[in-house]
Structure 1
Amino acid sequence: MNTIELFEFLSYVVTVIGLPFAIIVFIMEQNKGRQNEEEEIFQRLSDEYREFLKLVLDNSDLQLLRREGAKAEFSEEQKERRLAIFGILISLFERAYLLVYEDNLAGKALRRWKAWEDYMREWARRADFRDVLPVLLEGEDEEFTRHILKLAEEEMARR
């Protein structure tokens, strides 16, 4: 085999083996990058929810950690703070819906979404939260609005 034939043979080897291998590696790296991005989004949202819970703790007089909802009567200032805190929560839930939810989720993505849906259901069990949902959902994403209202109806029916 002369040098030209050797180079021609090697170019065939690269074309037949190297190019498909490079494409496979590229696709795998793209998928890994997408998964890392999804994980980062989920982590940022989780951090925001943790910050929200700190806000709830800082406003313990509003009784927002009671599963059944508040039992006390509130002043106008307390009612306003509750509404603002519920507004922050709806904003966080909408962001999670827009960034995490997709039709036909599976695997890790489905588990991530179910965690957010559990949070939504937990809050939707509260009558005081459900009562202000119409006000909180004005101007929000229509699909998100339908989704959280459906969850609220389901949780109310369970009670």
Structure 2
Amino acid sequence: MNTANWELLSYIVTVVALPFAIAVFLFEQRKERQNEEDATWQQVSDAYIDFLEVVLANPDLRLRSQHATADLSEEQQERMLVIFDMLVSLFERAYLLLYEPKMDEKRRRRWHSWEDYMREWSRREDFRERLPQLLRGEDPGFASYIQQLAREEAQNAE
């Protein structure tokens, strides 16, 4: 091969193969990022299912009821507080890992399921009452977000 042929081949690589390689690289990066997002969402969702198992293991607290549980012993109140603390920690983790002010449609749909969980728990008066205590030391953006949801749910309950 002479120099002219090598030069022609280098131009072909520069014009065709290099942009193609960059496109493949970007596609793979996007795919990897999507896989990481899917794994994160699945991990947090699994943690919520684990949390629900804790709720099921404490039927005397009637945590799946929409109303505050009355007449609890000190031990029951302590268990409820610990369970609510676990829940707030889980919600904060979901917020930090999954929430963004501007999300694409898929992320928005996923986030709405978490917002629904937060709203559901915020309908409980005893959860809302303990929320300021539970939010001490939590992420300020998350604290503001869930407090707003709790206010909205309290207004809807009136």
Deviation at 1:6, TM superposition (A): 1.8
> Hey, what does 1:64 align to over in structure 2?
63
Aligned length: 157
> Hey, what does 2:151 align to over in structure 1?
153
SS across alignment from 1:24: helix
> 1:53-90 CA deviation, whole Å, 9 max, x = no partner?
000000011000112332x3100000000000000000
> Hey, what does 1:137 align to over in structure 2?
135
Query: What does 1:1-12 correspond to in 2, within 5 Å?
Result: 3-12=2-11
Task: Name the aligned partner's letter for residue 142 of structure 2.
Answer: F
Deviation at 1:5, TM superposition (A): 1.7
Distance in 1 between the 2:66 and 2:103 partners? Answer: 29
SS across alignment from 2:71: coil
Identical columns (%): 55
Deviation at 1:104, TM superposition (A): 0.7
Tell me, which stretches of 5 or more residues in structure 2 are unaligned?
none
Distance in 1 between the 2:83 and 2:21 partners? Answer: 51
Tell me, which stretches of 5 or more residues in structure 1 are unaligned?
none
- Normalised by the length of structure 1, the TM-score is 0.95
Distance in 1 between the 2:151 and 2:51 partners? Answer: 24
Distance in 2 between the 1:3 and 1:57 partners? Answer: 78
Deviation at 1:3, TM superposition (A): 3.0
Match of 1:79 among 72, 77, 80: 77
Deviation at 1:103, TM superposition (A): 1.3
Deviation at 1:4, TM superposition (A): 2.3
Query: What does 1:18-97 correspond to in 2, within 5 Å?
Result: 18-70=17-69, 72-97=70-95
CA RMSD between the two structures: 1.0
Distance in 2 between the 1:18 and 1:67 partners? Answer: 61
Deviation at 1:106, TM superposition (A): 1.6
Aligned structure 1 segments of 4 or more residues deviating by more than 6 angstroms? none
- Between 84-93 and 21-30, report the one with greater CA deviation: 21-30
